[in-house]
Chains A and B, each alone.
Chain A
């Protein structure tokens, strides 16, 4: 990553943090200042979905071309996605403590993200259980594709078909229209953009580390 990218990332996240904490938000019944979590919590979930999607795309690419670099990209995306899923869970859990009274109470949202973490935890277990690189990559790619099929269900569908305390109409209301104060919406969209920039940087670093590891393994085998 070049220096311009890094400076943009640093400044944009700094601005997001300033916007998250200092800029006043309109009073939202039942939430108050706790609504500010939306600037941090939703981008984490969005990045988790994006990285699992990338993991699935690279897995498909691996199965088509059998290039181990694609497998390295798939596992890196899944790992970064898992990290952001944990961050989404932590930010959500902190919010739940102050809004619902406890860190964890098996709300449909909490249950669905927990199952999602188990699914991707199994992906990493599967990878560590197989020693042969090609076989590992092949099986893990198939698993990553199947695992991604469950992501939209657990993040978007299940929490909406089951009765949940989780706020559902904070960004888009039930009629499908944007339902957010313009100032909040600006900060929110900027936050989504900024965290996505961070995500691509982290993913880039992770892929480069894994590529170096792969090169060393291949050199040792030759």
Chain B
């Protein structure tokens, strides 16, 4: 197991970085959409 992780460490880093990025992206997207709703309510 340790050997496998050592040999593929870069892929492991990529995998974790992609999960973190997906989380940040979804969070930003959610804030963006909620803001759009609030802005529409504000205009009414």
Interface string of B2-35 (1 = CB under 8 A from A): 0000000011011001100100010011011001
Whether B18 lies near A205 (C-beta < 8 A) is: no
Does any Cβ of B come within 8 Å of A173's Cβ?
A: no
| Distance of B18 from chain A, by nearest CB (Å) | 6
Whether A208 lies near B35 (C-beta < 8 A) is: yes
Whether B14 lies near A22 (C-beta < 8 A) is: yes
Q: A17-B14, A21-B17 are contacts. A212–B25 as well, Cβ < 8 Å?
A: no
Q: A10-B25, A14-B21, A17-B18 are contacts. A205–B31 as well, Cβ < 8 Å?
A: yes
Q: Tell me the bound Cα distance from A17 to B22 in angstroms.
A: 12
How many residue-residue contacts, CB under 8 A, span A and B? 41
Whether A212 lies near B14 (C-beta < 8 A) is: no
Whether B38 lies near A205 (C-beta < 8 A) is: no
Interface string of A205-221 (1 = CB under 8 A from B): 10011001001000000
Question: How many A residues, CB 8 Å from partner?
Answer: 19
Interface of A is mostly: helix
Of residues 1 to 53 in A, which have CB atoms within 8 Å of B's CB atoms?
1, 6, 9-10, 13-14, 17-18, 20-22, 33
Q: Which residues of B contact A (CB under 8 A)?
A: 10-11, 13-14, 17-18, 21, 25, 28-29, 31-32, 35, 38-39, 42
Contact sample, A vs B, 13 pairs, CB 8 Å cutoff: A9-B25, A10-B25, A14-B21, A17-B21, A20-B17, A21-B11, A201-B28, A201-B32, A202-B28, A205-B28, A205-B32, A209-B35, A212-B39
| Distance of A26 from chain B, by nearest CB (Å) | 16
With A10-B25, A17-B18 already in contact, 17 other A-B pairs whose C-beta atoms are closer than 8 Å: A1-B32, A6-B29, A9-B25, A17-B17, A17-B21, A18-B14, A21-B10, A21-B14, A21-B17, A22-B11, A22-B14, A202-B28, A208-B35, A209-B31, A209-B35, A212-B39, A212-B42
Q: Tell me the bound Cα distance from A18 to B42 in angstroms.
A: 41
